[in-house]
Chain A
């Protein structure tokens, strides 16, 4: 028998692997492990989200963000009124709403963080 023929025959013999009697239970075990891994991953992502939320909230509390926002608003109003005194002809309407601007910026940052978090979870 030619060498190549024998090698092909051998490949066929290897490929003709018979069905093992416990093929079904084996597949069930693999599926269970897949499900367990999936569940663990979801718990991990959830836990990471909770931890991230807690850390974020605590950082906000520690940094006195709300007081800073109020004082920033006050500063902006003060600056605005000062500038009005200096140049009444100029268009300073954007500065007059300094407090609102800070809030809008904060909201945009939150939306951005949400977007990033969604992408990260999607990638995982």
Chain B
């Protein structure tokens, strides 16, 4: 029965599924979770959340999205919308557990970024691990969850200039790793640490 319901929705576009979900069709929303669950969990893991915690937050994010589905106007993609919700929920959780202050107070790592091996295939997740915790948070929030610098600064409770500095430093390290002048092959990989 459940699989029948799922197959009924499998061919629909995200926007149509959102319309069904707005009418209370939980199976339609389930199809959206099936399509975008991995992406949302992936962003949270890239923000530094351990896998189990990332899954918890992703579940909460989808439940919040279902409650607020009427607010989704289809201006961006559904996945981007849920990623933003998830990123904010994760930061709130960090703040509640008093981990956010520790992360953002952490001194910036001044050591030079590791050089990429030109012959190696380099993945984004590996490159993100070379960033400091705050740099990683800021870069992932801005490039993975789609938050603006201002939104990220508000969510992190940091000055806008500080967030911009973290993003800049993070990007410099990622560029050195992912796109060195020697031209290493760049690709996203299946691994989510």
Contacts and interface: CB of A to CB of B under 8 A. Distances in A.
Contacts of A35: 26
A18 B171 CA distance: 22
B186 A9 contact: yes
A31 B33 contact: yes
Interface in B131-185: 139-140, 143-144, 171, 174-175, 178-179
Interface residues of B, number: 35
B174 A10 contact: yes
Interface string B7-39: 000000000000000000011011001100111
A11 B143 contact: yes
B100 interface: no
Contacts of B171: 3, 6-7, 10
A37 interface: yes
Contact of A30 (B59, B124, B186): B59
Interface stretch (A19-27, A46-54, A78-86, A91-99): A19-27
Interface stretch (B41-49, B89-97, B110-118): B41-49
15 contacts: A1-B179, A3-B171, A9-B178, A10-B174, A13-B187, A16-B188, A17-B38, A18-B192, A20-B192, A26-B41, A26-B59, A28-B30, A30-B30, A31-B26, A31-B29
